């Protein structure tokens, strides 16, 4: 059975064709495209129509390849959205979650609605760019968008609507807004009222794996294809990535590693106690009524930005070249907390890393090797910190860590992660989100009875690299120092 997955990330997107045969799962990349946000004046937008264009290109390539899929589905990053007017047309270009208009918005909302109340009602971590604070920022700025809006759709909801003409909000993404109440299983009326947002913008929420219409006749005519069903999968990319974790045990720890690093475990019921709130953990909705108890870690973003800055200065270096430089730099000299607010916006990362290190009384990295080493060691050590928190909150110990996503191509990071956590890392598949997207389409179409059968097939079809911990004592000592300099112990 052949199905097509679109996976859109913060820096690029791809269309992957998946074939399920007697030999297992085979994937073929049909189309890959950049996703460059566009700065216009003070605003940072997603180029949503270009993304829709690329989605159609993917279908065209499938047709030309003679492989028209039996269904298609889209997943993307979370929290961002588009608003439709009452004529069904998109109002404006969606904002990027890194747009600076949310600065201070979360604090203002929290002054009106206590943090405990929001967490009790949503179970979602407090990130300054959550949909809730984006809407509050638009409100505060008197945005005309809010006056004209009739319908709210997350990014994959919106692209799916362009394909099918049907509006439907999907569960895994809906939870990331911090406006969805998992206890009620519905949008939270109290929080919407506090923001003065009409509940009529939001539709009933569909579970991952729900059939969500067919390609519109106009789309079929434009591309020269017949009608194809569209499925709402776990449309939050992290939801799809976790669906693809080839775990053997029912309870497992994962790290979805890309622009962001999402580390946690899959659970049956959200953990919404004081400790989870204190640790700023989240409970994002997943497949089969599960939740992802996890925490966002800034991830490879800092390195991606550093590389982009160097490129602008005419110093183009691949990620593997940068990793080589890091491997050659002296170990354990300086660390950052990658989740310091300093590193959230785009731009000049090297001065910010140096500033952080000097502020905390450390040696400030001087060259590329030192800077990259500082980032990768800091990530590995932060993974240990968050893994230990996950174990405390979930009330269990994990025997190792599954890593999925493009970040596993950085083998140095995988090695150092195993060393930092003192447990094995099992890395694969690299196309985690796209593979999870395919898997949920196959479940929806009856090819797998449930996610565990799908995970079994994934385990048998994709290589998993094993990294064992090395230099235990040195990493143990480094961890203690990392916790002290970053102030994470407090």
Check if 75 is active-site: no
6 is an interface residue for ligand LFR by CB under 6 A:
no
d(CA 439, CA 197): 35
Closer CB to ligand LFR, residue 164 or residue 296?
A: 296
Element (H, E) at 271: none
Contact track, ligand LFR, 343-382, x by CB under 6 A: ----------------------------------------
**Torsion angles phi and psi, residue 39, rounded to 5:** -85, 125
Q: How many CB atoms lie within 10 A of CB 210?
A: 15
Minimum distance, C-beta of residue 461 to ligand LFR, in the bound complex (Å): 23
d(CA 166, CA 188): 23
User: Do you find a cis peptide bond into 478, omega within 30 degrees of 0?
Assistant: no
Minimum distance, C-beta of residue 11 to ligand LFR, in the bound complex (Å): 10
Closer CB to ligand LFR, residue 9 or residue 94?
A: 9
Tell me the window of 77-85, 199-207, 243-251, 340-348 that interacts with ligand LFR (CB under 6 A).
Answer: 77-85
237 is an interface residue for ligand LFR by CB under 6 A:
yes
Contact track, ligand LFR, 294-313, x by CB under 6 A: --x-----------------
Contact between residue 225 and residue 59 where contact means Cβ atoms under 8 Å apart: yes
Closer CB to ligand LFR, residue 143 or residue 238?
A: 238
158 is an interface residue for ligand LFR by CB under 6 A:
no
Minimum distance, C-beta of residue 308 to ligand LFR, in the bound complex (Å): 17
Closer CB to ligand LFR, residue 229 or residue 299?
A: 299
d(CA 450, CA 444): 9
Minimum distance, C-beta of residue 176 to ligand LFR, in the bound complex (Å): 6
Binding ligand LFR (rule: CB under 6 A), the pick from 167, 169, 178, 238 is 238
Element (H, E) at 77: none
List the one residue out of 87, 80, 196 whose CA is nearest residue 142: 196
List the one residue out of 157, 156, 153, 168 whose CA is nearest residue 206: 168
List the one residue out of 376, 388, 374, 399 whose CA is nearest residue 468: 399
Minimum distance, C-beta of residue 119 to ligand LFR, in the bound complex (Å): 16
Active-site position among 237, 348, 367, 450: 237
398 is an interface residue for ligand LFR by CB under 6 A:
no
97 is an interface residue for ligand LFR by CB under 6 A:
yes
262 is an interface residue for ligand LFR by CB under 6 A:
yes
First and final CA of the chain: distance in angstroms?
A: 53
291 is an interface residue for ligand LFR by CB under 6 A:
no
Tell me the window of 19-27, 41-49, 85-93, 231-239 that interacts with ligand LFR (CB under 6 A).
Answer: 231-239
Closer CB to ligand LFR, residue 329 or residue 430?
A: 430
The three-state secondary structure class of 304 is: helix
> Positive or negative, the Cα torsion across 447, 452, 454, 456?
negative
78 is an interface residue for ligand LFR by CB under 6 A:
yes
Contact between residue 160 and residue 232 where contact means Cβ atoms under 8 Å apart: yes
Closer CB to ligand LFR, residue 77 or residue 356?
A: 77
CA angle 280, 44, 298 (to 5 degrees): 30
Minimum distance, C-beta of residue 265 to ligand LFR, in the bound complex (Å): 15
d(CA 467, CA 217): 50
List the one residue out of 300, 307, 298, 288 whose CA is nearest residue 243: 288
Strands 90-91 and 261-267: unpaired
81 is an interface residue for ligand LFR by CB under 6 A:
no
Active site residues: 237
Binding residues (CB under 6 A) for ligand LFR: these are 9, 77-79, 97, 236-238, 258-260, 262, 296
């Amino acid at each position: 059975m052949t199905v097509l997955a679109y996976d859109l990330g913060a820096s690029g997107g791809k269309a992957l064709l998946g074939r399920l045969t007697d030999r297992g799962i085979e994937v073929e990349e049909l189309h890959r495209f950049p996703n460059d946000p566009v700065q216009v004046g003070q605003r940072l937008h997603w180029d949503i129509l270009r993304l829709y264009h690329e989605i159609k290109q993917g279908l065209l390539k499938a047709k030309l390849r003679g492989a028209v899929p039996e269904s298609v589905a889209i997943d993307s990053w979370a929290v961002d959205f588009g608003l439709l007017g009452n004529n069904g047309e998109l109002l404006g270009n969606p904002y990027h979650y890194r747009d600076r208009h949310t600065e201070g918005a979360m604090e203002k909302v929290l002054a009106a609605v206590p943090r405990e109340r929001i967490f009790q009602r949503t179970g979602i971590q407090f990130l300054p760019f959550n949909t809730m604070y984006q809407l509050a920022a638009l409100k505060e700025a008197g945005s005309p968008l809010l006056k004209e809006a009739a319908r709210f759709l997350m990014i994959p909801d919106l692209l799916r609507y362009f394909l099918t003409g049907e509006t439907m909000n999907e569960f895994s993404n809906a939870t990331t807004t911090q406006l969805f109440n998992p206890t009620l299983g519905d949008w939270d009326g109290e929080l919407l009222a506090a923001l003065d947002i009409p509940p009529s913008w939001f539709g009933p929420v569909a579970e991952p794996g729900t059939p969500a219409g067919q390609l519109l006749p106009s789309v079929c005519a434009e591309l020269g294809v017949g009608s194809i069903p569209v499925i709402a999968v776990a449309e939050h990319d992290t939801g799809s990535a976790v669906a693809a974790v080839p775990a053997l045990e029912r309870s497992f720890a994962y790290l979805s590693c890309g622009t962001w690093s999402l580390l946690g475990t899959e659970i049956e019921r959200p953990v919404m106690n004081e400790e989870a709130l204190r640790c700023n953990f989240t409970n994002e909705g997943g497949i089969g009524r599960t939740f992802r108890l996890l925490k966002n870690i800034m991830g490879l973003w800092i390195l991606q930005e550093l590389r982009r800055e160097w490129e602008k200065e005419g110093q183009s270096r691949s990620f593997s070249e940068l990793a080589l430089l890091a491997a050659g730099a002296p170990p354990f000299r300086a660390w950052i907390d990658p989740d310091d607010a300093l590193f959230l916006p785009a731009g000049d990362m090297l001065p910010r890393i140096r500033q952080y290190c000097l502020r905390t009384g450390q040696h400030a990295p001087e060259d590329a090797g030192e800077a990259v080493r500082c980032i990768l060691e800091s990530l590995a050590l932060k993974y240990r910190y968050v893994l230990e928190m996950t174990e405390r909150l979930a009330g269990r110990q994990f025997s190792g860590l599954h890593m999925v996503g493009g970040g596993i191509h950085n083998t140095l990071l995988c090695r150092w992660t195993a060393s930092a956590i003192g447990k094995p890392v099992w890395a694969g598949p690299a196309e985690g989100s796209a593979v999870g997207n395919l898997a949920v389409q196959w479940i929806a179409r009856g090819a797998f009875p449930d996610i565990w059968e799908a995970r079994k097939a994934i385990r048998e079809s994709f290589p998993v690299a094993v990294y064992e911990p090395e230099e235990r004592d040195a990493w143990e000592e480094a961890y203690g120092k990392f916790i002290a300099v970053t102030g994470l112990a407090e």
